[in-house]
Structure 1
Amino acid sequence: MMRTVSEHQHVVAGLFPPPRAEVVPLAAALGRITAADVRATVDLPGFDNSAMDGYAVRAVDIAAAAEDSPVTLPVSADIPAGRTDPLYLDPGTAHRIMTGSPLPSGADAVVPVEQTDAGLQSVAVHASVAQGASVRTAGSDIVVGDLAIPAGTVLHAPAIGLLAALGLPGVEVLAPVRVVVVSTGSELVAAGQPLRHGQIYESNGVMLTSALSEAGAIARQEHFVPDDVAQFRERLDAIITDERGCDLIVTSGGVSAGAYEVVKDALAGDGVEFVKVAMQPGMPQGCGRIRGPDGQSVPIVTLPGNPVSAQVSFEVFLRAPLRRAMGLADDRERTTAELTAPLHSPAGKRQFRRGIIRIEDGRVVVDPIGPPSSHHLRYLAAANALIDVGTDTENLARGDLAEVILIDDGSA
């Protein structure tokens, strides 16, 4: 009996722990998600201050001011931004004041400099103002104890600015999952090196590392290993004990039913289960937990080696639980689209075909591209959608509606 896609999704999701929190400096917080409510630790503003360059006054003292009959007041102090000594405004006087500077006691309004003659020793005021004019009162933005940023907020630049204005050097955010990618296969050769007959360039490692990073994880690629069980186990032990940390290991290759399946040979019966999933592409799958030399347990997901199978398996099994483990929503949109060409799917298997979804004459349509085989990477590279054909469907005709997973939203 094969495992269904839904069953394997459930098993893989169970490997991920709840999101964990960490405190990061504000400079590193952009795009991160707050792990807890952040409450104001100070009032904003922290004191009554001027909203304009002008003159701090008592409104009653200039109530009779007009353009043709200004009121003249002596200027008894100058208040630039940053002045910290307490000041008092005597009745019948003015203080020259800059934007953001603290309002002196006794003042209840600010006259913009444009409504005066900008005098230094005395000032002629050409217009009256109401009490509170051009004054930012203490706590008018936020007061101590108010909710500043709710838990679960994706921090953008203004939110980080608010945290900085509150005097917070750092913020508690959900930690990204640290993932290490390992490709296996004696036939693999690094890009840029000459190929011998029977060799291929390694592509799964960089592809999966990119996919994991795109999903929000901190992913790094280990150099691929040959089909040697001892070397593979040594590499896993080194990954688990690496001081950079590892929350998840993802491998590609070595999980099928043939000989020289290094991942299966090394891990079967040792905390990792290898199964066949009723899907195309990506039937051979594995997952579980492995222990390092220090006894630490780390989850591992073993994907098939064919590149399309590996990437489709990531989309189907890994991306959603990975994002949930970081407090992120599953951002892969599902919709239905009209097929522009017929499709055939093997009986009893859930097929994921590559497609291009688009709008045609106001209708959402999807063009199936390429054959269903798991080695046609060029068509996956060109696709912006996966056509999800259910296990109970063998044939779909042109014009039929199909379930579609959007895998590329077109954003930069």
Structure 2
Amino acid sequence: MTSNPATPAEHADTVAQLLAPVIDSLADDARSELIALSPGTASGRVLSADVRSPITVPPFRNSQMDGYAVRAADLASASADAPVALGIGATSAAGDAVHEHLSGTAAPVMTGAPIPSGADAVVPIEIADPPRFIGIGSGAVETPADTTVRFHAPVQAGSFVREAGADLAAGSTILPAGTRLGPAQLGSLASAGVTEVQVRARPVALLLSTGHELRAPGDELEPGQIYDANTASLTAAMEESGAIVQVAFAPDDASAVLRAIAQHPDADLIVTTGGVSAGAFEVVRDALEPAGVRFGKVAMQPGGPQGLGNATVAAAEGERTVPVIAFPGNPVSALLSFEMFLRPILRRAAGLDPSRRVQRAPLAEALSSPREKHQIRRGGFRADGSVEVGAPGSHLLHDYARATVLVHVPIGVDALPAGAEVEVWRIDE
């Protein structure tokens, strides 16, 4: 990082360059995983290889409608004035085997049931006469042998018939590599009988929170201590963006930071919070600057102090190099830093939309901003569509929790009046 503060866009680009080898490695066949096709396991994963259908889908001709399977030729002369009456044939329900169709009959067929062999069309029950099935269904008696059904119009061959393979031919590609598995994709794979798929690896991120004052929620606080919010918020943020998160904690001791990193040798990247500024106890800086991580300022408020770089750290067999993204310790600063610099990268790797929905809205009240910094404020919409902006403090996490938008005030702007339009990012979607 340079001595002059980088703009947020410049720093985001540098973070992307640093993590590019990690993201590229996720698509490596050697890292791909074979997983079971279950919603809890596969949902949200990204395919690393094309998936081909092992069967024809559907595997047999079936009906799109509840109705009567017929031969179109048998209804060629049907009209409103001279309907054609056909005897009732054998019923086909979903799950039944295919049976032979007798010429001159109308065979009741249910949605999804096999079309009888020899029939070539289906007439929906609603336009048959009578428009209901006779003598079949739950609790029904046997259809009388002389029962007929009338048709008042001809039907085209193929009407309401789903041909075998209409959805997928055996061996065809169901989904290509790079597809993210959501509800429709999982359903499509299941319909072809696929039980396992090859997916990209997910990045493993070590989240290292530092600070002698931090305690886990539930512990008793001594004077001068606070509860650790960063671990909860950033773990959720990274998991939501597709990463596997390992959690560690280190007090204000550089050797403890290095030991914590050494205990997680499979982490693809390290994200730290705290210890990056210019104080006397900047533990992350003390530990990782000698290892290759650079520290400096970004022209952003909150979230100015930042660090990044490839750190050479101890490993089981000598040393290894791992990328480090170092965020400030204040909870809002840390979460906004993730939002600006890491979230887009992780989400893109996970096949997710990396961007927030951006819009412009008028300010409900005037605001001020440091001219030399890109300020990010939390806020929400009023009923009239104007945006109400909260305080800029980096410690006001509860305001962030209630916010629905992030308001961006660019570098070079020191004040805006009520009614001025600002860029807002939706964070409630």
Paired position in structure 1 for 2:5: 3
Query: Matched residues in 1 for 2:346 and 2:224: separation?
Result: 35
Which sections of structure 2, spanning at least 5 residues, go unmatched? 136-141
Q: Within 5 Å, which residues of 2 pair with 1:232-381? A: 232-241=257-266, 246-290=267-311, 291-294=313-316, 295-358=319-382, 360=384, 364-370=385-391, 372-381=392-401
Counterpart mapping for 1:10-409 below 5 A: 10-16=13-19, 17-18=23-24, 19-20=26-27, 22-27=33-38, 28-35=41-48, 38-51=51-64, 58-60=71-73, 70-72=85-87, 81-82=94-95, 88-89=100-101, 91=103, 99-109=111-121, 117-118=134-135, 122=145, 124-128=147-151, 130=155, 131-144=157-170, 148-149=174-175, 153-222=179-248, 224-241=249-266, 246-290=267-311, 291-294=313-316, 295-358=319-382, 360=384, 364-370=385-391, 372-406=392-426, 408-409=427-428
1:354 and 1:369 in contact (8 A); partners too: yes
Is 138-147 or 192-201 further displaced after alignment? 138-147
- Which one-letter code corresponds to 1:393 in the other structure? V
Gap runs ≥5 in structure 1 = none
CA distance in 2, matches of 1:400, 1:49: 61
Amino acid paired to 2:417: A
Offset from partner CA, 1:354-388 (integer Å, 9 cap, x none):
3334452xxx4322222x33223333333333332
Looking at structure 2, the residues matched to 45 and 72 of structure 1 have their Cα atoms a distance apart, in angstroms, of 29
User: How many residues were matched structurally?
Assistant: 397
Asked if 2 retains the 8 angstrom alpha-carbon contact of 1:81 and 1:99, the reply is yes
Deviation (angstroms), 1:183: 0.8
Q: Structure 1 residues 230, 104: closer, same or farther in 2, change over 3 A?
A: same
- Whole-angstrom CA distance in 2 between matches of 1:347 and 1:56: 76
Q: Measure, in 1, the Cα distance between the counterparts of 2:109 and 2:365.
A: 73
Q: CA deviation at 1:269?
A: 2.7
After superposition, the CA RMSD in angstroms is 3.4
Q: Mark the CA change 1:382 to 1:91 in structure 2 (over 3 Å): closer, same or farther.
A: closer
Distance in structure 1 (CA, Å) of the matches to 2:406 and 2:332: 11
Q: CA 1:327–1:49 in structure 2 vs 1: closer, same or farther (change >3 Å)?
A: closer
- Which residue pairs with 2:139 in the alignment? none
Q: Is the 8 Å Cα contact of residues 250 and 302 (structure 1) preserved in structure 2? A: yes
Cα contact 1:116–1:125 (8 A) shared by 2: no
Looking at structure 2, the residues matched to 379 and 97 of structure 1 have their Cα atoms a distance apart, in angstroms, of 60
CA distance in 2, matches of 1:107, 1:374: 72
| Superposition deviation, residue 312 in structure 1 | 1.7
SS of 2:354 mapped into structure 1: coil
Q: Deviation string for 1:110-130 (max 9, x for gaps)?
A: 576966654569463322463
TM-score normalized by structure 2?
A: 0.78
Q: SS state of the match for residue 126, structure 1?
A: strand
Once residues 6 and 110 of structure 1 are traced to their aligned partners in structure 2, the CA distance between those partners, rounded to angstroms, is 61
8 Å Cα contact 1:271-1:289 kept in structure 2: yes
1:285 to partner: Cα distance = 0.9
Question: More displaced, 276-285 or 104-113?
Answer: 104-113
Contact kept in structure 2, 1:179 and 1:248, CA below 8 Å? yes
Do 2:75 and 2:84's aligned partners in 1 also have CA atoms closer than 8 Å? no
Per-residue CA distance 1:324-347 (angstroms, 9 max, x = gap)? 222322231333332333333334
CA pair 93-373 structure 1, distance change in 2 beyond 3 A: closer
Q: SS where residue 344 of structure 2 aligns?
A: helix
TM-fit CA distance, 1:63: 6.5
One-letter identity of the residue aligned with 1:25: A
Report the residue type matching 2:148 in the other structure: V
Structure 1 residues 292 and 169, CA gap change in structure 2 (3 angstroms): farther
CA shift, 1:107, in A, is: 3.3
TM-score, normalised by the number of residues in structure 1: 0.81
Q: How far 1:58 moved relative to its partner?
A: 4.1
1:147 Cα deviation from its structure 2 partner? 5.3
Shift of residue 152, structure 1, vs aligned partner: 5.1
The structural deviation recorded for 1:167 is 1.8
Q: From the superposition, tell whether residues 324 and 141 of structure 1 become closer, same or farther in structure 2 (CA, over 3 Å).
A: closer
* Offset of residue 46 of structure 1: 1.6
